[in-house]
Amino acid sequence: MKDRVKILIVDDERGILDTLGILFRAEGFDVAVADSGRDAMEALEREKPDLVLSDIKMPGFGGLEVLKKAKEVDEELPVILMTAQASLDSAVRAVNEGAYHYIQKPFSNEALLTICRRAAETRELKAENRRLKTEIRRRERSVGARPVGTSPPFMEALELAETVAPTDSTVLLSGESGTGKEVVARYIHRLSERGEKPFFSINCGALPESLLESELFGHLKGSFTGAVKDREGLLVAASGGTLFLDEIGDTSAATQVKLLRAIQEREVIPVGSTEARSVDVRIIAATNRDLEEEIRRGTFRSDLYYRLNVIQLRLPPLRERREDVELLARHFLERLAEREGGEPRSLCPEALEFLRDYDWPGNVRELENALERAAVVAQGAGIEAGHLPERVRERPEVRLVGEAPASNPTMEVVERAYIQWVLQAEGGNKTRAAEVLGIDPSTLYRKLNRYGLAE
């Protein structure tokens, strides 16, 4: 609770005002008083109290009117009502209408102080929560919006990312290639206290071991062929900020040992040196491998895994978040338009259906590439189905019944097979088939196009 909490005490009996005033001042409160409901109306605007303690039954404007006015002035302002037995029903109703609490006369000083302290703490916590949310929104505006997606599995991952961002904990991002691990890593960095400091990224699987070691830990001039000058590694360069280690599962045993030491001791020894250099860097690592399986195989150190896996965050593949495909598609087309200086291209309904139905083995990265290709091919304003890559437009035939029936068919597979069966039963008559299916003919035609059954 903040050092000085201002309380407005409202009662039409001067003796009670004086007694309560002495009590609360002795407890460190700033005290303002009003001897009528009308006077309280003005005091609410003038004094801007942190909480209000009011008698419920007063001549003219009573405690209920004070409550209403208090909520108009500040919706979060806690109001505590003092009530006699005769007005208990009114006090209960007032709580239902937004009063923080009521206390029945006669009451003990300690009980009253406890309620008032709790009200002040609740108000302060709400104010702090609003401040933090405002700060997050401010940071998002200054560094860019959240990664795109509203599906439950993606939101679960993103909310965890936002929770751990303010800490310095090491984060391990797992997920298939192309799911946006670096995008989320940058988002965590931007929301952290290190957000104004450097962010460096390195793909551990793209470099040979000797070069990766030099990139991470640095080297001294002459320490190996081609080392023509001293070079600080990324762990030093990122000091104060964040280092993103992509494809951490591809590192060698020797590099893993050095990484473990760097994380544990917060220091590195450049190649060719015997002198350690201290580092202050947050590590975010990523992998598309099952590191626990790699540990069982003996290709990844368990002690490094436990150091990296303080917070594990799994990014779902795009096939598990199909409801995000349209959002992502429009986002990529808008970004492409900004880059080219034009208007975003539109997506025709059929093209959008193909995008939703495709499994996207390359995930978000593949979707972005497919849309960029389609935009180039389309040339005009709209992207039609024919502008999409052929693999996206293919609909493989899935047989539900046969020597090797499909295991766990999706509802779409079942629906396609059922529509096909009804059409055959009705001799290809689409009007009668629509009646049997219980859908409009226009809906049937749309589904036929979607499932590649249109003649």
The domains of the chain are located at: 6-128, 152-316, 319-393, 397-455
Residue 13: helix, strand or coil by DSSP?
coil
Q: Which two tokens stand for residue 445?
A: 């035609």
Q: Give the single-character DSSP code of 427.
A: T
**CATH architecture, domain defined by 397-455:** Orthogonal Bundle (1.10)
C-alpha 145, offset from chain centre: 11
The pLDDT value recorded for residue 178 is: 92
| CATH number for the segment(s) 319-393 | 1.10.8.60
pTM score over 0.75: no
- Across the 455 residues of the chain, what is the mean pLDDT of every consecutive 10-residue run? 85 93 94 94 93 92 92 92 76 82 90 94 85 62 70 94 94 94 95 93 90 90 75 92 96 94 92 88 95 94 96 95 94 88 87 92 94 88 90 68 55 79 81 81 78 71
The pLDDT value recorded for residue 51 is: 95
Pairwise CA distance, residues 446 & 90, whole Å: 60
The pLDDT value recorded for residue 87 is: 66
C-alpha 348, offset from chain centre: 30
The pLDDT value recorded for residue 263 is: 94
Nearest to 205 by CA among 287, 116, 312, 113: 287
Do 6-128 and 152-316 share a fold? yes
The pLDDT value recorded for residue 227 is: 72
214 within 8 A of 269, measured Cβ to Cβ: no
The pLDDT value recorded for residue 403 is: 47
Reply yes or no on domain 6-128 having CATH 3.40.50.2300: yes
Give 357-364's long-range contacts (Cβ < 8 A, gap of 24+): 357/395, 357/412, 357/450, 358/391, 358/392, 359/319, 360/317, 360/318, 360/319, 360/325, 362/177, 362/178, 363/176, 363/177, 363/178, 363/179, 363/180, 363/317, 363/318, 364/178, 364/179, 364/180, 364/318, 364/328
Class of domain 152-316 (CATH, top level): alpha beta
Nearest to 201 by CA among 161, 240, 247: 247
